[in-house]
């Protein structure tokens, strides 16, 4: 029995085996999502304020014609006019990046041309040697199961970084397209992928789980693409980051147990949930 992955919107859901949804497994992004993001909170507030100023005439008209509740709902949804296209852009760039690393020809929409040119330049300059792309990983540690999809594992040559030379090695890389840069949470995400115990190999036969050690990953990093440039940034996924990831995993388990507890007959918090996350 191995992992089944299903696409939902811009992300994935993972199930242990074929029984869906009974055997759903937490994803790395769900676990790292337990960390409150001040940047995201501030972004939502700023996006709503920008929308209000840019559409003040429309909102004033609605309020003066007894459509206050409609105006409020419009403001509540306004940030998604920014985030939804950004998520779609990220998804499309990831698809194109996977095709490019495989050496396939791609048709590039005009609005993504800059990102694709930046990634092509990264490939030409760094010359990564792909080991795997869009690789599904799973942790089968006792009481610590999760899944995720790593963008790219590749061999990189010597990499200059802050006055040093990082020796040639296999890297686990995540491709990011955020215009605001790379947030610190990227380290937690990459740590979750790297600390998985197995990866799912699909060589045309039945998918098979194999030890992560076979990939010989020595470093993790982010390839940050903007509309006109790229940056390769090494990421620290050491013991401190690993400890933080485990805390977030514990919190996610408690949240899932809480969902089952709320609305059930009066009683103590499920002891089994606490034991499972110990």
**pLDDT at position 274 over 80:** no
Average predicted confidence (pLDDT) for the chain = 82
Lowest-pLDDT choice from 18-27, 70-79, 262-271:
262-271
Strand segments (E) across 54-158: 129-141, 144-156
Query: If pLDDT is split at 50, 70 and 90, which confidence band does 166 have?
Result: very high
Q: What's the CA gap between 148 and 223, in Å, rounded? A: 18
Tell whether omega for the bond before 50 is within 30 degrees of 0, i.e. cis. Answer: no
pLDDT band at 191 (very low <50, low <70, confident <90, very high): very high
Q: What does each C-alpha distance from 13 to 16, 24, 30, 148, 213 come to in angstroms?
A: 10, 8, 10, 9, 24
pLDDT at 224 > cutoff 70: yes
pLDDT (tens digit, 9 = 90+) per residue, 58-113?
A: 888 888 888 888 888 888 877 766 654 555 556 677 677 777 777 777 777 777 78
pLDDT score of 90: 61
| pTM for the model | 0.77
- Position 212 scores a pLDDT of 95
Question: For 43-52, which contacts have Cβ atoms below 8 Å and span 24 or more sequence positions?
Answer: 43/79, 43/180, 44/79, 47/78, 47/79, 47/82, 47/83, 48/75, 48/76, 48/78, 48/79, 51/75, 51/78, 51/79, 51/81, 52/78
Q: How confident is the model at residue 217 (pLDDT cuts 50, 70, 90)?
A: very high
Alpha-carbon distance 150 to 162, whole Å? Answer: 26
- Domains defined along the chain, listed by start: 26-35+86-276 (3.90.320)
pLDDT value for 41 = 72
Q: What is the Cα–Cα distance from 27 to 246, expressed in whole angstroms?
A: 13
Tell me how far CA of residue 52 lies from CA of 42, 46, 73, 75, in angstroms.
Answer: 15, 10, 12, 7
- For residue 240, pLDDT over 90 is answered with yes
Sign of CA dihedral 209, 213, 216, 221: positive
Q: How confident is the model over 112-136, as pLDDT tens digits? A: 788 888 888 999 899 999 999 999 9
- Give the mean model confidence (pLDDT) for residues 158-182: 88
The per-residue pLDDT for 177 is 83
Could you tell me the two tokens for 37?
């993001």
* Contact criterion met (CB below 8 Å) for 32 and 185: yes
Confidence bin at 148 (pLDDT 50/70/90)? very high
Is it the case that residue 278 has pLDDT exceeding 50? no
| Pairing between β-strand 169-176 and β-strand 144-156 as defined by DSSP bridges | antiparallel
């Amino acid at each position: 029995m191995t992992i089944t992955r299903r696409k939902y919107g811009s992300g994935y859901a993972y199930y242990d085996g074929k029984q869906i949804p009974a055997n759903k497994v937490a994803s790395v992004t769900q676990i790292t999502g337990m960390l409150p993001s001040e940047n995201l909170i501030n972004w939502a507030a700023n996006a709503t304020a920008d929308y209000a100023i840019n559409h003040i005439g429309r909102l004033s008209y609605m309020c003066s014609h007894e459509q206050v509740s409609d105006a409020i709902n419009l403001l509540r949804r306004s940030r998604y006019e920014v985030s939804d296209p950004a998520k779609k852009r990220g998804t499309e760039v990831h698809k194109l990046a996977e095709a490019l690393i495989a050496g396939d020809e791609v048709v590039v929409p005009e609005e993504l041309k800059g990102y694709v040119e930046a990634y092509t330049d990264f490939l030409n300059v760094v010359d990564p040697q792909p080991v795997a792309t869009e690789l599904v990983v799973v942790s089968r540690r006792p009481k610590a199961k999760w899944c995720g999809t790593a963008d790219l594992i590749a061999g990189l040559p010597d990499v200059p970084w802050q006055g040093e030379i990082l020796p040639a090695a296999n890297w686990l890389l995540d491709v990011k397209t955020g215009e605001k840069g790379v947030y610190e949470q990227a380290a937690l995400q990459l740590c979750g992928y790297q600390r998985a115990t197995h990866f799912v190999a699909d060589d045309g036969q039945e998918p098979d789980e194999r030890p992560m050690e076979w990939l010989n990953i020595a470093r993790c990093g982010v390839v940050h693409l903007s509309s006109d440039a790229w940056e390769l940034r090494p990421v620290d996924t050491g013991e401190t980051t690993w400890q933080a990831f485990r805390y977030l995993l514990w919190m996610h388990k408690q949240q899932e147990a809480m969902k089952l507890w709320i609305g059930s007959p009066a009683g103590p918090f499920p002891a089994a949930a606490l034991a499972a996350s110990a």
